[in-house]
Structure 1
């Protein structure tokens, strides 16, 4: 397995992670399930690609334009749908995602069903750039979650009526969570377009949205660490199983079902890794190893 192959999978993991982080804020911390984030990725991908291809705008500025474009669209969608309760919002986002794909299928400015090709890839979505963008995205997300705004979002997830009673503007914070998640998804779409060098509307089907939502649930709702681990595992797993081509998606689905049955709260279950917890775990492991070595020495002496 060559380094180019491994780095390619790592880049794809980082691209997926951007959308998953946004979904983690929306679903894991605010309690709104979305099956339309592939639509936001598509908007970001096409806008960022158009900026670099047709107007010669630098890569990082194009990424930001793609993300902001997706965020602006989310504000319109949120205005229309965020008053819907329960499953109705989920269905509305699903409809948005499919409508976005069908619109792009028929807009010749963006290449229609053929999509866009010859998107610049040289020096754009590199592993270094993806890692830097991921680190910034995680830092910003954690800062939001630890702020008063993040605590208000968690309150809405736990009990919306009680949150409204104590004076939290529920609609405002739902809109904020949706906008930030769409911004992340738009940037992710721009990264994907400049990594592959081409995009087509068919790449942003409902299956993509479902896959991203599964990753959030798999990692653990309300856990940024879980989102990171879940993204890496579920991006690598299909590639590891590539030798079993005919069965790899079956094994992938079985693995997801197994974790949902045995650990319905997800891998992390709302918990987070911290430097203190990592050091504590490392100390426990070192003490365990020392104890085992000590026992072996005593057995040898006896």
Structure 2
């Protein structure tokens, strides 16, 4: 039974890998059509949060999966983006044309400055450094009452609008979140399929060998650390406008662990897997709302079961590029074996 299940999964993955663009296009069509099916404000709000968490998970996967650096402070950059948008929106009445890029820039600057001091540290040490940074940001958000509102947070963040158009409706917010997710996926994919991406992979696989081949390890690490933080800031800025409220309790170390769990559950280094992991861990709390007493226990048990069943994550051990090459090679072998032997003419 187990072998049959494994073979079925293998066939599905092979078809997915061979038809990757078709699958991606089908997923896009489904995502665009979701509001027709989920025609309630609550369900669309849940799917909007799925998009936000997917942005966070994909950006963290760039750092953890593609570069091999574990971060326990991704929520700090998420929070910096959210507070930047909230402050600019409430105090200066600026709209998303300014607040979204500003959230990215502030988060990027913070990551750049932190990276200058800490990026040379080994991965496990850097994980502790990012954890400490996350706690520092939380303490500042809690205690700088005149600027951040303290534990009360910032209320009445302006609704989403663009060039006079009100985008705060249930459909508009979902489609904007989906657009930001597609933008994040496209940008990171373009980078990882370029010369920069090859250098990043080489650092992950063997840092010493990459450096000996002329790769500037420090610069690439700093670039990825900063770039991933910028997209976390983008997600945070959208979050602030989506809920019209930000609080320090939304951007704690625990949130960083949840984001890292999304990456691990989906499969470290797998973008499709990371998105699946983000969607699952975004939907689980909503699906378990009726189990008020046992919700956290069930939530934890489901994660444990999934990780025991798939230790490398849902799609972690699958390299779609290699699978496509293997399928192509096996088809070529089969084709050659089926050819009738030609008579030798002398």
TM class by shorter-chain length?
0.7 to 0.9
1:66-215 correspondence runs (5 A): 66-107=103-144, 108-122=146-160, 123-124=167-168, 126-215=173-262
Q: Counterpart of 1:26?
A: 63
**Cα shift readout 1:6-65 (whole Å, capped 9, x = no counterpart):** 111101111111111110100000000001011101110011112222222221321111
Q: Distance in 2 between matches of 1:61 and 1:270?
A: 40
Alignment pair present for 1:260 and 2:307: yes
Q: Is the 8 A contact 1:74 1:182 kept in 2?
A: yes
The correspondence for 1:63, drawn from 64, 81, 100, is 100
Q: Counterpart of 1:15?
A: 52
Q: Distance in 2 between matches of 1:223 and 1:64?
A: 27
Q: Is the 8 A contact 1:225 1:272 kept in 2?
A: no
Q: Distance in 2 between matches of 1:81 and 1:112?
A: 28
Q: Is the 8 A contact 1:224 1:272 kept in 2?
A: no
Q: What is the CA RMSD across the aligned residues, in angstroms? A: 1.9
Q: Distance in 2 between matches of 1:4 and 1:257?
A: 32
Shift of 1:192: 1.1
- The structure 1 segments of at least 4 consecutive aligned residues displaced by more than 3 Å after TM superposition are 270-274
Q: Distance in 2 between matches of 1:233 and 1:262?
A: 15
Q: Is the 8 A contact 1:17 1:228 kept in 2?
A: yes
Q: In the superposition, relative to structure 1, how do residues 273 and 188 fare at CA in structure 2: closer, same or farther (>3 Å)?
A: farther
Task: Select the structure of larger CA radius of gyration.
Answer: 2
> Greater shift after overlay, 28-37 or 160-169?
160-169
Q: In the superposition, relative to structure 1, how do residues 142 and 270 fare at CA in structure 2: closer, same or farther (>3 Å)?
A: farther
**Cα shift readout 1:229-272 (whole Å, capped 9, x = no counterpart):** 11111111121111112222212211211222221111111546
Q: Is the 8 A contact 2:93 2:158 kept in 1?
A: no
Q: Is the 8 A contact 1:226 1:272 kept in 2?
A: no
Aligned length: 277
Q: Is the 8 A contact 2:78 2:235 kept in 1?
A: yes
Q: Distance in 1 between matches of 2:176 and 2:319?
A: 25
Shift of 1:197: 1.1
Q: In the superposition, relative to structure 1, how do residues 273 and 126 fare at CA in structure 2: closer, same or farther (>3 Å)?
A: farther
Q: Which runs of 5+ in 1 are unaligned?
A: 281-302
